[in-house]
Amino acid sequence: MIISNKGKIWISIICLIVGFMIAILFETKQSTELRDTRDLWEIRTALQKEQEIQQNIYNEIAASEVLLQEYENQPERQQLESLKESIENLKEQAGLTVIEGEGVVITLQPIFQEYDEYQIYPELTADLLQFLINQLNDYGATEIAVGQERLINITPIRNVNGRVYVNNSPIGDLPVKVHVITDDPTRLINHIEVSESIDYFALENIELKTKQVSALVLPKYDQTINLEGLEITESLEEGDI
């Protein structure tokens, strides 16, 4: 059957519409890229952050190169020694050595109020302790130990059966001592005095007492560091972009 010219034109128009629809669909499915909605300030901050990271990386590279140079220029025996030295350095960074320094001792102790009724013994929670540790790190703490447990980068602080565990061992009931080594103890104390931690702990009937100590000794982390479960994440987290 032969189609008339008019028919052919109609079919062609419909083909045109179909083609157009497919193209639009294709475009729509393709163009789902996220728009950058940051303002100037946010971009500047992001840029600064990246530059800081870059600077840090450069510094690290420079330090490593100096170290490498040293290795190469030294005779074998000295090489061994400098290797040992670096291992000691790394151990110190990882928190595997006893460390001494100027710092602050924070004592968490229960507050007893003159209640008529019966008052339960105040209990420390892992959340509170985490909050305090985060704030201390924020205020310039370099090394921290809770009781006799040294905090390292992967130290867990959690509630187990109603007790607070640090480094997988219970820290016991209040009072608890938190030892902090810092470059500027006075500043740290001042920060703590005005921090939210005081209020949050007070809500749980716990008092924070700070004391500056000139020679503070922190115990070493005495367990093995297990990094088997760790892997590098490829995905971006919130705020990374």
Partner 1 sequence: MLLPALFLILGLILGLLTNFTIPEIYANYLSIAVLAALDTLFGGIRSQLEGKFDQSVFISGFFFNVSLAALLAFIGVQLGIDLYLAAIFAFGVRLFHNLAIIRRIMLEKFRLRKRNK
What residues make contact with partner 1 under the rule CB under 8 A? 1, 3-4, 6-29, 31-32
Start-to-end CA span in the chain (Å): 62
Considering beta carbons, is residue 25 or 62 the nearer one to partner 1?
25
Instruction: Between 20 and 71, name the residue whose CB sits nearer to partner 1.
Output: 20
Do 165 and 157 contact (CB within 8 A), yes or no? yes
Query: Quick one: 32 or 113, whose CB is closer to partner 1?
Result: 32
Q: Closer to partner 1 at the Cβ: 7 or 170?
A: 7
Least distance in Å: CB of 235 to partner 1?
23
Q: Quote the least distance from Cβ 31 to partner 1, whole Å.
A: 6
| Helix pair angle (196-203, 185-193), 10° resolution | 50
We find the least distance from the C-beta atom of residue 35 to partner 1, in angstroms, to be 13
Where do the H-state alpha helices sit in the chain? 5-30, 40-73, 76-94, 126-138, 185-193, 196-203
Least distance CB 34 / partner 1 (angstroms):
12
List the one residue out of 171, 133, 138 whose CA is nearest residue 152. Answer: 133
Residue with tokens 């590098």: 232
